[in-house]
């Protein structure tokens, strides 16, 4: 059978979202300067779908700095893979600053978050090793797991008994030269709950393993200094390999992995997506340094983010919405319904109230449920929050449907 013919017949879980929904439900175009208010289909909308948690992307000092750096260096420099011709003092200084920020001995800069963690997982384990991961892990971890040659075990989301069972199983199956790597998330980006890191780390005494935590949504937002979910939970030292991305709180491209120097040195020579890809351009590197410095200088941005998060959540609950008990700024609203209801909620909020939200249905969430995910930022104002609450109030006649306790448990277990 011809490959192209087969692709045409292969069903997609996004279904009609990628056909007649293109440009509205999928691949929408938010235009104008990045910020809490942007243009969609020519109209101003309050945006709750962009992970610029601290408002760094719309900060005028950052924007002006980016303009200057792009003019001075262009997006070409440095050329080549970092291993060969793409290194610089700024790349190395950024790594030192990131390691200091997240309280780890050393760090390695990565081109992209998604690509980066896939490559890190692939490099860390071999065919003799065992990889254990949370069932609700982000797609980048799932794809990294697929690349890895290790034996794989999965545990139920945030279920310590299930994790302990898989950990025991791994040690029973281990060979004399087997190592065990556990991968989970610090803050889960869809449901907003935190990984059970402290409980998992406690099991190291009985069944030794190394822990890799993807803290894409936690770096910059969690902990009293923004250093992540491990700091927030008081167990940061138990995280052996800390992974953070610039795509959320930094509002930038790129990522990093922070760990012991000997592991960083290994990854420098074995993370294939970094060895065989162009180095991060200098304007991105210098902008990351600037953004990191400002994040550390402005703890009030994080305080404002959490203030806005609390206001949004309490307002939605007062109206009667089922806001999942998220522990990071991600604010998920769960209701009962079909794909049609999901589309209706998004359309009515966007068209009638100037509120841009994103929603998901099966297979991302259990059948018969709709999850509307809102991402508060430090740049949102009380007026933005109130207009959004007014919109949700006006559509509650169609949007408010109770979700069974069983489904709720699946989403928050």
Domains in the chain with CATH codes: 3-54+299-412 (3.90.1150.10), 60-297 (3.40.640.10)
The dihedral over CA atoms of 86, 89, 94, 96, expressed in degrees to the nearest 10, equals: 120
Residue 365 pLDDT class (50, 70, 90 cuts): confident
- Say whether pLDDT at 186 is over 60: yes
| Whole-number average pLDDT of the chain | 93
> What gap in Å lies between CA 371 and CA 365, rounded to an integer?
7
> What gap in Å lies between CA 127 and CA 131, rounded to an integer?
10
Sheet strands (E) in 190-325: 210-214, 241-245, 255-259, 322-323
CB 139 within 8 A of CB 216: no
Q: 206-250: per-residue pLDDT in tens? A: 999 999 999 999 999 999 999 999 999 999 999 999 999 999 999
Q: Which two tokens stand for residue 256?
A: 């990093």
Q: Which two tokens stand for residue 317?
A: 């609950």
Q: 11-55: per-residue pLDDT in tens? A: 766 665 666 678 998 899 999 999 999 999 999 999 999 999 999
- Say whether pLDDT at 1 is over 70: yes
pLDDT at 246: 97
């Amino acid at each position: 059978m011809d490959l192209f013919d087969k692709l045409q017949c292969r069903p997609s879980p996004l279904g009609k979202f990628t056909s007649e929904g293109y440009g509205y439900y999928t691949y929408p175009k938010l235009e104008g300067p990045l910020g809490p208010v942007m243009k969609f289909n020519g109209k101003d909308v309050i945006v709750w779908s962009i992970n610029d948690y601290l408002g760094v992307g719309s900060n005028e000092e950052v924007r002006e700095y980016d303009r200057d750096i792009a003019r001075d260096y262009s997006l070409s420099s440095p050329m080549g893979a970092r291993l060969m011709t793409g290194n610089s003092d700024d790349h190395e200084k950024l790594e030192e600053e990131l390691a200091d920020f997240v309280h780890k001995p050393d760090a390695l800069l990565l081109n992209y978050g998604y690509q980066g963690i896939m490559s890190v997982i692939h490099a860390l384990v071999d065919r003799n090793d065992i990889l254990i991961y949370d069932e609700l892990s982000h797609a980048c971890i799932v794809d990294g797991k697929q690349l890895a040659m290790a034996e794989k075990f999965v545990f139920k989301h945030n279920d310590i008994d299930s994790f302990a069972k898989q950990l025991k199983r791994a040690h029973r199956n281990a060979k004399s030269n087997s190592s065990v790597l556990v991968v989970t998330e610090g803050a889960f980006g869809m449901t907003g709950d935190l990984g059970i890191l402290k409980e998992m780390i406690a099991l190291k005494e009985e069944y030794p393993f190394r822990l890799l935590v993807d803290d894409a949504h936690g770096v910059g937002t969690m902990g009293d200094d923004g250093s992540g979910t491990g700091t927030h939970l008081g167990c940061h030292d138990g995280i052996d390999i800390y992974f953070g991305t610039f795509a959320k709180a930094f509002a930038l491209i790129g990522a990093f992995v922070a760990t012991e120097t000997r592991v960083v040195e290994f990854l420098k020579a074995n993370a294939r997506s970094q060895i065989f890809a162009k180095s991060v351009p200098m304007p991105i590197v210098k902008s990351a340094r600037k953004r990191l410095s400002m994040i550390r200088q402005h703890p009030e941005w994080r305080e404002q983010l959490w203030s806005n998060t609390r206001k949004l959540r309490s307002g939605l609950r007062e109206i009667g919405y089922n806001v999942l008990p998220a522990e990071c700024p991600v604010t998920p609203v769960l209701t009962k319904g079909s794909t049609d209801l999901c589309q209706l909620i998004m359309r009515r909020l966007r068209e009638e109230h100037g509120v841009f939200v994103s929603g998901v249905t099966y297979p991302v969430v259990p059948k018969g449920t709709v999850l509307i995910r809102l991402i508060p930022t430090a740049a949102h104002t009380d007026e933005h929050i109130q207009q959004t609450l007014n919109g949700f109030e006006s559509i509650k006649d169609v949007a408010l449907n109770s979700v069974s306790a069983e489904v709720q448990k699946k989403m928050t277990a």
